[in-house]
Amino acid sequence: MKNLTDITDKVKKNLIWKSIFRRDYRNTVRDRAMAVFGNVFLHLHPVQVRESAVKLRFTWGMGGITFFAFIILVITGVVLMFYYHPSVDQAYTDIKDLEFQVPYGVILRNLHRWGAHFMVIVVMIHMFRVFMTGSYKAPRQFNWGIGVFLLVLTFLLSFTGYLTPWDQLGFWAITVGTNMGAATPLLGYQGPFSELLHITPYNDVRFALLGGAQVAGNALLRSYIWHCVAIPLVATILMLVHFWRVRKDGGISKPQK
Amino acid sequence: MNPFIEIITQPDNIAIVIMIFMVSFFMVWAFQQAFQNDRLIASGLPVEGENDGFVDTFKPLVRIELIIALVVMVGLTIWSIAVDAPLEEIANPTITPNPAKAPWYFLGLQELLVYFDPWLAGVVLPSLIVVGLLAIPYIDINPKGNGYYTFSERKYAIIIFSFGFFVLWLLLIVIGVFFRGPGWLWYWPWQEWDHARVVYEPTKDLTSIIGIDSRSIPGIIIGGIVVLSYLVGGMVAPYLYWKKNNPELLKQLGMVRYITITFLFVTMMAIPIKMILRLVFLVKYVWIIPWFGGINF
Amino acid sequence: MANENKNNSSYRVYLFVFFSVLLLALSAWVVWDDEFGLRPWKKYQQEYKSLKHDKLEKDYKRAVVEFQRAGGHRKLADLEAKLKKAEDVFNSKETQEKYARVNKQLTDIHEQVVQNQKELRDLRGQFLESEYYFTKTQKQEYKAKMDGLQRKIDVNLLRGTELQKKEEPLKLSLSEFTSAKAAILAEIENMKNGLEEKKERIANNDKVPVDIKQIHIKDVDRADRCQSCHIGIDGKSQVSLKQPFTRHPASFVYLDHHDPSKFGCTFCHRGQGRATTSAEKAHGKVKHWDEPMLDGDMTQTSCLNCHGDIKGLRGAETIMKSTELIKKYGCYSCHKIPGYETVGDVGPVLTEVGTKVNYSWAVSWLLDPKKYFSTARMPKFFFTQDQAESIADYLFSMSGTTRHDADYTKATPNDKLVEQGKALWAQARCNLCHTTGGRGGNHIKVYAPDLSKVGSKVNKEWMFRWIKNPNAYFPGTKMPRFRFTDEEIRGLVEYIVKEYQDDEAEMKYVQPVEIKAASIKKGKELIQQYGCYGCHKLQGMEEMVQVAPSLKQQGVTFLRSNEMREKIGTELSSIGSKPVDMLDFGKLKKSIPNDRLSYIKQKLRDPRSYRLGLRMPDFRLAESEVNELASVLYGFTDANVPTRFLVPSRQELDRMAGVPSYKFTGDFAKVIADVKCTNCHAIRGIGADYAPDLSVAGSKLQESWIRSFLANPDVIRPLLQQMPKLGLSQGKPVAKVTMPRFNLGKQNVEDTNRSDVDVVINFFQQELVTSDIPKEVPKITTVDMTEQISKGKQLYDEKGCRACHQVGMDGGALGPNLSNVGNRLNSGFIFKHLENARKFKPDIVEPDYGFSERERIYLTNFLMTLKLTAK
């Protein structure tokens, strides 16, 4: 036992350890607080939280799970990007190679796909929970709105990712999805009032979404960029606002009567 | 293979099966807690968590976060090992699969295409859903039920939201995934999909049922009257009711809020009404406006 | 305030530990799965390596045993003793001193050489620098510097050569010291070499890395990883007969011409080349992959992807045989099939069919052609009696107004005429093409009709006209015009009509009956609906055909079926790669496998089974024919093949090069249009392979012999030649085949005063000659002719020619009979033929004896003496 403390002493009492952890943890109030605001990740939390925040039956952990799913998706997504070309000629074979040749390609793609489905499910349940506990009520009205936008962005993230393997499933799901855009009133060529603005299949909303009148190479590139760059960026910013407002609005809601 | 098992074991559909289980579980859990709190309120006791204090973030919260992350990671890994992500044939614009389905979370909207024109089902209604969700905190002026599960204190809000969420959103998704086959025809889970199957439904417009061409001027006028009177009636009737029984509420709401609430509610209820009209009475359109590229309700 | 519940926290710790361990275990599983579960080829490659190791080791051990048995180790011991002795000599003090001295000298000189080279490098560097400045500035000082440097360089080089000269003898004398030792060592090395090499191969095999073996075809971005499991597929020898380790079967045909590293596997075998995780996936036998792997003979369907002409292509025999079925049944008549655009109509002209056949016969034929004769090629359309009558009415209305039958059963023919006809029938060898009573019909590819019941089918007057000049009724028919006299034809007709009656034939319209207009109209509609005009030339079908506007401007209003843009059936040009989702399985969706091959087979087996309202008739194919035809159709793909793979047919090459394809011209064209030589013979790439190729017949055959042969054809080839050759060449019918007697020489060619035999001879001598073959055998003047002949005979006996060739009554029957070769062949041809027989006939059995030119001349001169005197 003496040896063990010797070893831990050796490990802890040097410049490198101290430069990383700064100070010892002794389970005092002060140390528990320091653990939180001394750490950039934990710093998202206040030093102390309402008891309801740690009650699983109250929050179901859904917000956190959504965020965790997002992190998994970002990590697997970035790795997948190394193996993928958003071009009609290569996209499909890239995915095939992921299955047949890339080390850990199968598990990587599966994690990304199922993680995405999981996130969509979880984000909906999160919204349901927030509604059921009335947590959108004052002072959290604005944050509910941010949440609604994040919900929409989650759908869009998944939707844009659907096309990337360039297989029949994705191709036709996107075709069906974007065809609805053609029916937008005023701005879609099949929508009402479109004649007023001289809208044709070549200048309507759908064309803007697809970069063409049909789902083809441009659509693949667009959906790739929306999926990998634009939407994650916006979602990240909105998430920061969301988390910030959770804290500023008083943390996880508690009964207010 | 049994067609039902075949459908639910399609890789992408497993997600929906998981969703059904998760949503049902949390729905039950939410209402169970709500009723429990209701009982406490009824007997004048504080609701769950009312007297809660604070705890340290480190470690109670951090620990629970880590455990949840682990559980999620374990679950996703098992899912990923057990089921391979689907990859069908390479995209081919000349072969349209039948049925061609949108991603599953949009299948509710695709299902609405049976009942509404695309501009309504695909654009206007989804936009209204987003607008409605955004509006919730501002139109719900009930101060009770903030921060705890309860049913009795906010019956209407919960009923309306649950109807929209479980029936109009999730149920339609489930229908779209499991009950729609080739030609977007209805298939029970035990029925084999038959690509050659043809179902002829002699749908009519509402005014055609009483013998007036829906595209003629009288037809358009009658259709218009029906739609507008539903809208206006639906928005005015509560006013009259509350004016008599609960004028205080109207005062609190104010005109803008009242109009927003009733408009959103009437629009939402138009969906099941139109579904019933279409499914039971085979009504295709209630009101046709043949101009401006066709605006049909 | 901070109230941490101790119990609660400890159970959370357990949870934490539990899930951490679970996640760790899952991660381990993922790693294992990715390393082994998803990489089955690793196991295969290891197994292959160990199998190969065993085999190589066995080889090595056997070699060691043999080495020892041959006394190898004793010789080795002797050599080693010698080596020891030589080393002792070399190591003696005296030798070592001498050796060191010479070595010292050499080292000194070598040092100087190195020094010199260093200086040279230095000078050259300076020279280049000066040159640069001179080119830039054109200043004379640099020029002067350059000259100076150049001089120094020259001196240096001179010194270098001198040093080298000094070095040479020193090196030589140095090597003398060790030469004895080196020679012995080399001998030892040599003895061990075979063994060492074998040992090394074992070591090399063990070093082969286990990894994915991939062939990447860059221009179409195709990656085939099949060899990751099929590791021995292009090995030099068979390591194991177990799958997936076997060698490619018949690789000398397939892989030798299609280097796997350039062609990959999936161009021929299909399947999913990229897949490596399981055999089902790699073989493409999974959902969402439309191209299941092809194996066995079915693979030959892929030859069609690249080879424009598979005729005579080695390794494509099965598919070649199968493609014949497309011509046999005329699939191209209703379906667009690339490569068959110019093939003629499969069915006879029907414009005057009313003057040819009996009405009753026509109706029963329409109802069920196979009822008339079982080998009928016309399919069954499932017409009702009414429909068949309407169609027959339409057909008869093109040349008349009545339904009529000609019944000859009661007529009493002139016996003498019949006798003459019977003799003529045999002499003209009608049975070569036509079957009667189950006999004859050896030349199957002309599809001549069975004549067993023809007497109840056709009209006598028509038959007379037909035999007299078949082209007049049906331009392009395969039936030749025999040069019969009218009297002879009359006899033949009487004989045929009497001999080949159908006892069961019904004759309802011996008394003609007027055809009703309504029925004609209905018949026309049916013909349009079922596209009879696809195979038969008809009148009144002009409006059926969409004529392209450009052709309309040229005044063309009626396109024949084979020129049509739109055909009645589905286009088949890419049926072999049509996505399965585009195939309509209709009501059989659940009852047959949903893949392309099953679809095609079922369609051929029962064309109208998928749904109601389909029009394709039933050809009642045998199951073997279904399989063959399906394998051909499967090969019609729009596969993305790199252009460098393509092997265009000769016609395509000619077209691309702007060379007009060969055409018969002049008077000979008229003869050939009549006699149809190309039904059996090939001439300059045109025609069939039934009889010998005549492309160089002018150089080969003597004129007098041709004349007498045409007058009275006789067998030249022995029986064996006509038997199917086992192996890789096309089978030929088993029968003694003789050319029919066309009676050439009796008539002049139309519009000329030349006899047709003269025209043929003239054509042979003008056109069918080649500069490769000399007219005469070269002369040897130094040796007496009789001596040459006797030397030739000696050679003939020595080399055992008589084992195969027959002269008189003596000799074998594998090669042609040589009894009359001196009258038949030109001496120049024999001379050339003895040099390289394969040049004229690639699949010939004659061995190459490697005769010298002189020997060939002797032999030729001998053979030219073999003559039969004319009777």
In this structure, what is the dihedral angle of CA atoms C689, C694, C696, C699, given to the nearest 10 degrees? Answer: 150
The residue range of the domain holding A44 is 1-48
In a domain, A34, yes or no: yes
Question: Which residues contact residue C670 at a Cβ distance below 8 angstroms, ignoring those fewer than 6 apart?
Answer: C749, C750, C759
> What value of ipTM does the predicted structure carry?
0.94
A209 and A147 assigned to the same domain = yes
Statement: residue C4 has pLDDT above 50: no
Q: Indicate the residue among B144, B174, B195 that finishes a domain.
A: B195
In a domain, A235, yes or no: yes
Statement: residue A44 has pLDDT above 50: yes
CA-nearest of B20, B18, B24 to B80 is: B18
The string of DSSP letters for B142-163 reads: --SSBSS--SGGGHHHHHHHHI
Average pLDDT over residues C270-275: 93
The C-alpha of B49 sits at a distance from chain A's nearest C-alpha, in angstroms, of 6
Which residues, listed in sequence order, are joined to residue C435 by a DSSP beta bridge? C440
Task: Record the tokens describing residue C625, joined without a space.
Answer: 């024919």
Model confidence at C643, pLDDT cuts 50, 70, 90, reads confident
Residue of B nearest to A41 (CA): B62
Statement: residue C546 has pLDDT above 80: no
Q: Indicate the residue among A32, A48, A64 that finishes a domain.
A: A48
Scan for tokens 């001549």, then name that residue.
Answer: C448
On the 0-12 / 13-18 / 19+ scale of CB atoms within 10 A, C78 is: exposed
Statement: residue C565 has pLDDT above 60: no
A164 and A207 assigned to the same domain = yes
Q: What is the DSSP letter of C778?
A: P
The residue range of the domain holding B253 is 200-297
A108 and A156 assigned to the same domain = yes
Q: Mutating which of B133, B144, B264 best tests the A interface, going by the most A Cβ atoms within 10 A?
A: B133
Q: Give how many domains chain A has, as a whole number.
A: 2
Measure the CA–CA gap between C489 and C509, rounded to whole angstroms: 27
Statement: residue B271 has pLDDT above 70: yes
Class of domain C666-766: mainly alpha
For the ranges B8-22, C4-18, C102-116, the lowest mean pLDDT is seen at: C4-18
For the ranges C78-87, C289-298, C528-537, the lowest mean pLDDT is seen at: C528-537
Nearest CB among B22, B88, B89 relative to A121 is that of: B22
A26 and A77 assigned to the same domain = no
Task: Report B:60-99 residues touching A (Cβ under 8 A).
Answer: 60-62, 64-65, 68-69, 72-73, 76-77, 79-81, 83-93, 95-97
3-state secondary structure of B208: helix
CA atoms within 13 A on the CB side of B39: 5
Measure the CA–CA gap between B1 and A224, rounded to whole angstroms: 37
pLDDT digits (tens, 9 = 90+) for C809-837: 777 767 777 888 888 888 888 888 888 77
Average pLDDT over residues B101-127: 91
Q: What is the pLDDT of residue C390?
A: 94
For the ranges A11-25, C180-194, C534-548, the lowest mean pLDDT is seen at: C534-548
Q: What angle do CA C395, C400, C405 make, to 5 degrees?
A: 80
CB-based contact B77 C611, cutoff 8 Å: no
B254 and B214 assigned to the same domain = yes
Q: Which chains touch C (3 or more CB pairs under 8 A)?
A: A, B
Spatial contact of C454 and C447, defined as CB atoms under 8 Å apart:
no
Statement: residue B256 has pLDDT above 80: yes
Q: Are strands C222-224 and C215-217 parallel, antiparallel or unpaired?
A: antiparallel
Q: What is the pLDDT of residue C6?
A: 47
* CATH code given to domain C327-343+562-639: 2.60.40.420
In a domain, B205, yes or no: yes
Residues in A touching B143 (Cβ below 8 Å): 137-138
CA-nearest of B151, B136, B39 to A132 is: B151
The string of DSSP letters for B221-262 reads: HHHHHHHHHHHHHHHHHHHHHHHHH-HHHHHHHHHHHHHHHH
In a domain, A254, yes or no: no
Residues in B touching C582 (Cβ below 8 Å): 94-95
3-state secondary structure of C564: coil
One fold for C327-343+562-639 and C415-504? no
Q: Give how many domains chain B has, as a whole number.
A: 2
A121 and A91 assigned to the same domain = yes
B41 and B178 assigned to the same domain = yes
Q: What is the pLDDT of residue A165?
A: 95
Measure the CA–CA gap between A253 and A100, rounded to whole angstroms: 49
Q: What is the pLDDT of residue C553?
A: 45
In a domain, A122, yes or no: yes
Spatial contact of B192 and B28, defined as CB atoms under 8 Å apart:
no
**Superfamily covering domain C415-504:** Cytochrome c-like domain (1.10.760.10)
Model confidence at C716, pLDDT cuts 50, 70, 90, reads low
- Between residues A157 and C240, which one has the greater pLDDT? A157
A159 and A191 assigned to the same domain = yes
Size of interface B-C (CB pairs under 8 A): 60
Class of domain C785-863: mainly alpha
Which residues, listed in sequence order, are joined to residue C357 by a DSSP beta bridge? C458
Average pLDDT over residues C354-383: 91
Residues in A touching B55 (Cβ below 8 Å): 48-51, 53-54
B180 and B213 assigned to the same domain = no
Spatial contact of C688 and C694, defined as CB atoms under 8 Å apart:
no
Q: Domain ranges in chain C?
A: 71-207, 327-343+562-639, 346-405+527-559, 415-504, 666-766, 785-863
B31 and B120 assigned to the same domain = yes
B177 and B213 assigned to the same domain = no
A205 and A239 assigned to the same domain = yes
Residues in B touching C586 (Cβ below 8 Å): 196
A10 and A79 assigned to the same domain = no
The C-alpha of A10 sits at a distance from chain B's nearest C-alpha, in angstroms, of 26
3-state secondary structure of A199: coil
The C-alpha of C586 sits at a distance from chain B's nearest C-alpha, in angstroms, of 7
Q: What is the pLDDT of residue B160?
A: 95
In a domain, A117, yes or no: yes
Nearest CB among A112, A175, A256 relative to B146 is that of: A256
A110 and A22 assigned to the same domain = no
CB-based contact A104 C277, cutoff 8 Å: no
Q: What is the pLDDT of residue C813?
A: 66
Q: What is the pLDDT of residue C561?
A: 43
Q: What is the pLDDT of residue C839?
A: 67
The C-alpha of C634 sits at a distance from chain A's nearest C-alpha, in angstroms, of 24
B117 and B158 assigned to the same domain = yes
Q: What is the pLDDT of residue B273?
A: 94
Asked if B28 reaches chain A (Cβ–Cβ under 8 Å), the answer is: no
In a domain, B73, yes or no: no
A35 and A88 assigned to the same domain = no
CA-based torsion, C618, C622, C625, C630: positive or negative: positive
Average pLDDT over residues C397-411: 85
pLDDT digits (tens, 9 = 90+) for C164-213: 998 888 888 888 888 888 888 888 888 888 888 888 999 999 999 999 99
Q: What is the pLDDT of residue C623?
A: 92
CB-based contact C579 B89, cutoff 8 Å: yes
CB-based contact B64 C586, cutoff 8 Å: no
The C-alpha of B77 sits at a distance from chain A's nearest C-alpha, in angstroms, of 7
For the ranges B79-93, C35-49, C342-356, the lowest mean pLDDT is seen at: C342-356
Asked if B44 reaches chain A (Cβ–Cβ under 8 Å), the answer is: no
Task: Determine what percent of chain C is predicted with pLDDT higher than 90.
Answer: 26
A39 and A89 assigned to the same domain = no
Nearest CB among C34, C38, C274 relative to A96 is that of: C274
B138 and B257 assigned to the same domain = no
Measure the CA–CA gap between B29 and B21, rounded to whole angstroms: 12
Q: What is the pLDDT of residue B287?
A: 87
pLDDT digits (tens, 9 = 90+) for A142-154: 999 999 999 999 9
Give the CATH number of the domain where residue A191 resides.
1.20.810.10
Q: What is the pLDDT of residue C846?
A: 66
CB-based contact C288 B54, cutoff 8 Å: no
Nearest CB among B56, B89, B194 relative to C2 is that of: B56
Statement: residue A227 has pLDDT above 90: yes
Model confidence at C845, pLDDT cuts 50, 70, 90, reads low
A25 and A72 assigned to the same domain = no
Q: What is the pLDDT of residue C343?
A: 73
Statement: residue A102 has pLDDT above 70: yes
The alpha helices in C505-595, defined as continuous H runs, are 517-530, 549-553
Q: Indicate the residue among B195, B226, B259 that finishes a domain.
A: B195
Task: Determine what percent of chain C is predicted with pLDDT higher than 70.
Answer: 91
Asked if B57 reaches chain A (Cβ–Cβ under 8 Å), the answer is: yes
Q: What is the pLDDT of residue A231?
A: 96
Q: Which chains touch A (3 or more CB pairs under 8 A)?
A: B, C
B181 and B217 assigned to the same domain = no
Q: Indicate the residue among B195, B229, B252 that finishes a domain.
A: B195
CB-based contact A106 C223, cutoff 8 Å: no
B167 and B100 assigned to the same domain = yes
Residues in A touching B47 (Cβ below 8 Å): 255, 257
The C-alpha of B149 sits at a distance from chain A's nearest C-alpha, in angstroms, of 5
CB-based contact A168 B109, cutoff 8 Å: no
B13 and B113 assigned to the same domain = yes
For chain B, the C-alpha Rg in angstroms (whole number) is 24
The C-alpha of C24 sits at a distance from chain B's nearest C-alpha, in angstroms, of 9
Nearest CB among B67, B94, B192 relative to C12 is that of: B67
CB-based contact B87 C288, cutoff 8 Å: yes
Measure the CA–CA gap between C207 and C203, rounded to whole angstroms: 6
Statement: residue C733 has pLDDT above 70: no
B153 and B275 assigned to the same domain = no
Which residues, listed in sequence order, are joined to residue C687 by a DSSP beta bridge? C682
Nearest CB among B30, B80, B294 relative to A192 is that of: B294
B105 and B160 assigned to the same domain = yes
